[in-house]
Amino acid sequence: MEDCVNFTNSAFEQQRHGNGCIGLAAENSAALRVFENFGQMRCCPNNGLSSEWMAAAASSNTTLLKYFYPEDPLDAFVKGEIEKTYRPITKGCNLAPNACWCFHVRGSPIKAENPDAWKESDVGKAIDPAATKLDSKKRQIKLHRDLYANIDASSVNASSFVPKAAQVNDSCSCLVPLQPPPQESTCLFSDMRPGKLLAVIAACRRLGITHIIEEGRFGGLSALIYAIHGFKVTSIELLPIDFVGRSLKSAAPGVIQVEGDGAVLVPQLVAKARRDGERVAVIFDGEKRRAAYKTYEKVRDQIHLVVFDDSYHENFHRHLDRHEEVAWHTNLDRTYANKYGTKADITQLAPFEQMLKRAAVKLKRQQPDLFRLKDPVTKKWIYGAQQRLRRLVDKEGRLVLPPGGLQDMAHYHFVLVRGGAWKLGDELW
C-alpha cells in the first residue's frame, strides 16, 4: 500500500487536507478504492474524519456513550427521560394508525384535523414518494426530503406537483401527542439513530463547535438532543408540524426555530453565526445530497463541519470523492459500524419496534378490512389492497411511519464532511 502519511497531491491539497489523503482507516483504504471506485487516498490516521479520528472522538466521553447506549434499552424506553438517556420518541407521544397524511404537510399531520393541507401551494415540494413525471425523459423527482441530482429545484414550478387524487386519499400512520391541547404533552421524535447522533455530537465536541444549524426539523427530537448536549441550535423547517414546534419550544426554549427554504436560509444564518463569532456545523436533512451540496458550496469556507443525511444514494459518496471532499461515512467505516452501526442500534431501538408491532396487531384486530386483500364475496383481488397494506405495515410486522420511516431508522446512514473553515490545529484534542 502507498505511504499515505507522506502522500501529497499539491500545495492546495496540503492546505485543504493536511497530509493530502482524505479518509477512513488504512485497513479500509484498498477496498474502498476498488469496490467504491474512490480516487482519493483514504488512510491517514491523523487526518480529520479518519476512522481513528472518529474513534477517538466517540470514545472520549463515557457519559455520552452511556446516554446513547444504556445497558437496559427497555428500561430507558419505558422509564427514561430524554434529558438523561436516549429514546427515539419522547414519553408524550402516541401512535395514530391509519389517520395521517402520507407526505409532509404544514400543521397537523392528522387528516381529520388538517383536511386542506394538501392544497397549499408548496405541498408539492413535500410529496414523498413522488411519482410526477418531467419532460420527455420522464424523470422522477422528489423534492424537499429528497431532491434528485439531475433536477434543479430553482427551475421547478411548485404548482406542477399538486398531489394526485390517490395520494391525497391515502392514509398512513404517524406520531402525535398523547395528551391533546390545552394540556398538550411533549411529543418529539427523530429518525436519526443513536450511532448517527453520537457521531455528530462527538465530532462537534472535538472540533469545538458552538452552533449547530439543522436544515430539516421534522419531529424535532434531534434538535432537542443537540441542545441537551450543550450546543446552540437553529432548526429550519419548510413545512413545520404544529405540535412539534410547540413541544420543542416547551422542552428547549433556547432552540431557534425558523420556517422557510433552507437553500435560502442556511447561507443567511451561517453568515450571522460567523459574525457572532460562532464555530458552525450544518446538518442537511431537508435538502438532500446534491441539492444540499449546492447550498453547502455557498457556505463551505464559513463552516467547520457539514452533515449530509441519507447520503448513500445516487452515488453521492462518489460525488463527494470527485470533489475531493474529506468525508467520513457511517456505513464505510467498519470499525465504527461494528460498535455503533445498525446491529448495535437495532438493540437500542428494539423496544420502539415492539411498540410498533403491537400497534400493527391492534390495528388489524380493530380494522380487519384494511388488511383484506380479496373480496369475501367475489374472491377477487381488491384493487390497491396490497399497496395499502404495505403503506400500513412492513414485512417485519411493524406499523409504518412515513415520510421519515422511523420504523427502519437503524439502517439509515449519513456522511460527515470537513468544512473549509476547519484548519489544522482546530481540534480541541
Residue 184 predicted with pLDDT over 60: yes
Q: Does pLDDT of 29 surpass 80?
A: no
How high is the mean pLDDT of the chain? 83
State the Rg of the chain over Cα.
22
Q: Please tell me the distance from the alpha carbon of residue 201 to that of residue 64, in angstroms, as a whole number.
A: 9
Please answer whether residues 406 and 88 qualify as being in contact, where contact means their C-beta atoms are separated by less than 8 angstroms.
yes
More confident residue, 134 or 288: 288
**Residue-level pLDDT at 168:** 85
Q: What is the pLDDT of residue 40?
A: 62
pLDDT, position 367: 95
- In the numeric block, which cell numbers belong to residue 275? 459574525
- Tens-place pLDDT, residues 251-262: 999 999 999 999
What pLDDT score does 15 carry?
43
Average pLDDT over residues 120-124: 47
Q: Which CATH class is domain 48-86+190-341+410-418?
A: alpha beta
* HEC secondary structure over the chain: CCCHHHCCCCHHHHHHHCCCCCCCCHHHHHHHHHHCCCCCCCCCCCCCCCHHHHHHHHHCCHHHHHHHCCCCHHHHHHHCCCCCCCCCECCCEEEEEEEECCCCCCECCECCCCCCHHHCCCHHHHCCCCCCEECCCCEECCCCCCCCCCCCHHHCCHHHHCCCHHHHHCCEEEEEECCCCCCCCCCCECCCCHHHHHHHHHHHHHHCCCEEEEECCCCEHHHHHHHHCCCEEEEEECCCEHHHHHHHHHHCCCCEEEECCHHHHHHHHHHHHHHCCCCEEEEECCCCHHHHHHHHHHHHHHCCEEEEECCCCCCHHHHHHHCCCCEEECCCCHHHHHHHCHHHHHHHHHHHHHHHHHHHHHHHHHCHHHHCCECCCCCCECCCHHHHHHHHECCCCCECCCCCCHHHHHHCCEEEEECCCCCCCCCCC
- The pLDDT of residue 44: 58
Cell of residue 246, nine digits: 410547540
Between CA 382 and CA 262 the distance in angstroms is 42
- Mean pLDDT within 5-20: 41
Residue 14 has pLDDT above 70, yes or no: no
CB atoms within 10 A of CB 182: 5
- Looking at residue 257, its pLDDT comes to 98
Residue 25: pLDDT above 80?
no
Average pLDDT score over residue span 64-83: 96
Q: Evaluate whether 22 touches 45 at the Cβ level (below 8 Å).
A: no
Tens digits of residue pLDDT in 295-342: 999 999 999 999 999 987 888 988 998 888 888 889 888 888 899 999
Between 51 and 249, the higher pLDDT residue = 249
- Arithmetic mean of pLDDT, 252-279: 97
- Give the whole-angstrom CA distance, residue 192 versus residue 189: 9
Cell numbers representing residue 148 in the block: 434528485
pLDDT of residue 8: 35
From 165-179, 277-291, 296-310, the region with the lowest mean pLDDT: 165-179
Task: Specify the pLDDT at position 362.
Answer: 97
| pLDDT for position 293 | 97
Read off the pTM: 0.85
**Segment 130-153, tens digit of pLDDT:** 333 333 333 333 333 332 233 333
Across the range 54-79, mean pLDDT stands at 94
Query: Where exactly are the structural domains of the chain?
Result: 1-47, 48-86+190-341+410-418, 93-177, 347-407
Closest CA to 23 of 42, 45, 47: 42
pLDDT confidence bin for 47, thresholds 50/70/90: low
- Which residues face 186 on adjacent strands? none
pLDDT, residue 155, reads 32
User: What does the alpha-carbon distance between residue 214 and residue 304 come to, in Å, rounded to a whole number?
Assistant: 14
Question: Bridge-partner residues for 259, per DSSP?
Answer: 237
pLDDT at 41: 56
- At 216-248, the pLDDT tens digits run 999 999 999 999 999 999 999 999 999 999 999
> Which among 332, 387, 352 has a CA at the least distance from the CA of 191?
352
* pLDDT of amino acid 97: 97
Share of the chain above pLDDT 90, in %: 60
Which amino acid belongs to residue 369? D
